[in-house]
Amino acid sequence: MLNNIEQLSKLINKEIEQLDLGHTPSTLYDPLYYILSLGGKRIRPLLTLMSYSLYKDDPKEAILPSLAVEVFHNFTLMHDDIMDNAPLRRGNTTVHEKWNENVAILSGDVMLIKAYELLMHVPTSKLPQVLKAFNECATLVCEGQQLDMDFETQSNVSEAEYLNMIKLKTAVLLGFSLELGAILGDASEKDCKALREFGINIGIGFQLKDDLLDVYADQSHFGKQVGGDIIANKKTLLLIKALQLAKGNSKKKLLDWISKEEFKPEEKIKEVLSIYNTLNVQSIAEEKMNEYFQTGLNQLSILGASKHKVTMLKSFTQNLIKRES
């Protein structure tokens, strides 16, 4: 039985390498293989297979639908990179930089179609339910991306608005990944909902953790520049709480750094971080992050699956929570 996480990861990577997504014209299809070759943690298909394995023994039956989630995720990254004008993805040149924006848009479009093709491998009886859940999820992801872009020019973003945005942009896809595995595994409606809610809550927690790591991680472990969100004035929970709590000179200094167009990045990071530390926003964000993690993990206690298998999923999640990069 392939219920070992390392075995599941190897199965996913092997199947991704063997995917036939099309070949001609090469300028349309090469970017698909390229972005998938850049790796990543493959968390979403892994969660689908782990969720499926809670109820059935051979996750090979769910492998192609699980890859649909990974292909869709990479489609969103391809288009997000264009919108963010990002030069790098996982340390490599982004598709729109390696080719051009038009190629990246069209290749992204066909990648979405390929995700649907992979979803067609679910049993016919389950296809309407899976497509309905996927379409709802995909729509929410687009709504989240639009909100994220809106926030770039919005002077005031509340904590509730930010948490809703990250729920839509990143967390609902984790929720769908787990729900998909549960549906394919013939789980009860109660378990399908619990696994979806588990995924959404830990997804929000993971984004809050990413926000914290961007500011407080050890540079040698993080893999990218620490303080990038500060430099870009990204409206994370840390900045939102700092703007809410700062008074007097601290508020003036923070607003001055946000408004500056020319500055030394190291100096800005140092000064804004000093304000964050004075206001103790790190502890506030950590507390909120842990609330979401705990809410998510609590959902696992109501599952009607084998306790041993649930423990494996819980341990995997807890290891992700402990990561420092």
CATH of residue 32's domain is 1.10.600.10
Backbone angles phi, psi at 106, to 5 degrees: -70, -40
Q: Measuring CA to CA, which residue among 297, 321, 320, 313 is closest to residue 55? A: 313
Residues 158, 264, single domain; the answer is yes
Residues 187, 323, single domain; the answer is yes
What's CA 153's distance to the chain center, in Å?
23
- Tell me the C-alpha to C-alpha distance, in Å, between residue 84 and each of 55, 148, 232, 304, 317: 40, 10, 11, 42, 29
Token pair 């339910």 is found at 129
**Predicted pLDDT of residue 224:** 53
Residues 153, 116, single domain; the answer is no
**Predicted pLDDT of residue 2:** 47
Domain stop point among 108, 125, 142: 125
Residues 266, 179, single domain; the answer is yes
Q: Which residues contact 317 (CB under 8 A, 6 or more apart)?
A: 202, 296, 297
The answer to whether 215 touches 231, Cβ cutoff 8 Å, is no
Residues 245, 289, single domain; the answer is yes
Residues 180, 69, single domain; the answer is no
Query: What's the number of domains the chain is made of?
Result: 2
Q: Which domain does 115 fall in, by range?
A: 1-51+59-125
Residues 169, 112, single domain; the answer is no
Residues 44, 115, single domain; the answer is yes
Q: Which residues contact 314 (CB under 8 A, 6 or more apart)?
A: 297, 300
How many angstroms separate the CA atoms of 16 and 70, rounded?
9
Residues 78, 141, single domain; the answer is no
Residues 211, 147, single domain; the answer is yes
Domain stop point among 75, 90, 125: 125
Two structure tokens written together for 41: 């943690």
Q: What is the CA radius of gyration of the chain?
A: 21
**Predicted pLDDT of residue 88:** 87
Residues 42, 154, single domain; the answer is no
What residue ranges of the chain have pLDDT lower than 70?
1-3, 219-225, 325
Domain stop point among 71, 104, 125: 125
